[in-house]
């Protein structure tokens, strides 16, 4: 069915490409290449399957939360750990960016944000960056200040000696 939808969409866009204004004209070969690339990525990575799996796990976690009462904390934790085994792999950069977005939403100081480098932002949706530490910006700035002071002291010792 997805193949049919992609091909009919491609045919529609290719048919309408001749009727577009000059500034919006797109070569049908480019449209075909983009459609083929998106289709291949969808087939290889199974985006729909992963989304459905994540949505199902979310429903199960929400159901678990509604079942929770004051006395059965250990049982709920055990069921929660069992649900986590079916969860998709964690992309730690995405978690750090979500944390930063939550900090901004609650008007927290920027110093509380986690430092995410440009390389991590670019490849964060592809690579997991497992084991990577994301220091707070206040820690990064304090470390830079310490290094700067050490460099100043070293430069002064070179001038004197």
Least confident of 28-32, 67-71, 77-81, 115-119: 67-71
pTM of the model: 0.50
CA–CA gap between residue 1 and residue 66 (Å, rounded): 37
130, 135, 136, 139: CA torsion to nearest 10: 180
| pLDDT single digits (tens) 45-58 | 777 777 788 788 88
List residues bridging with 3 in a β-sheet: none
Q: Residue 64 class from Cβ within 10 Å (0-12 exposed, 13-18 middle, 19+ buried)?
A: middle
| pLDDT value of position 10 | 65
| pLDDT single digits (tens) 89-100 | 778 898 899 999
Residue keyed to tokens 């491609």: 10
Length of the chain: 161
Token pair for residue 152?
A: 């100043």
Token pair for residue 50?
A: 């992963």
């Amino acid at each position: 069915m997805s193949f049919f939808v992609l091909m009919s969409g491609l045919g529609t866009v290719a048919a309408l490409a001749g009727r577009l204004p000059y500034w919006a004209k797109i070569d049908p070969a480019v449209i075909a290449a983009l459609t083929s690339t998106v289709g291949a990525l969808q087939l290889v990575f199974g985006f729909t399957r992963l989304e459905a799996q994540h949505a199902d796990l979310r429903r199960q976690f929400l159901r678990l939360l509604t079942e929770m009462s004051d006395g059965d904390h250990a049982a709920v934790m055990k069921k929660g750990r069992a649900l986590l085994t079916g969860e998709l792999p964690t992309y730690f950069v995405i978690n750090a960016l979500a944390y930063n977005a939550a900090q901004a939403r609650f008007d927290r100081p920027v110093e509380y944000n986690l430092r995410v480098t440009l390389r991590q932002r670019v490849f964060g949706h592809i690579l997991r960056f497992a084991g990577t530490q994301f220091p707070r910006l206040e820690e990064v700035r304090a470390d830079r200040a310490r290094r700067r002071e050490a460099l100043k002291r070293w430069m002064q010792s070179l001038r004197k000696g």
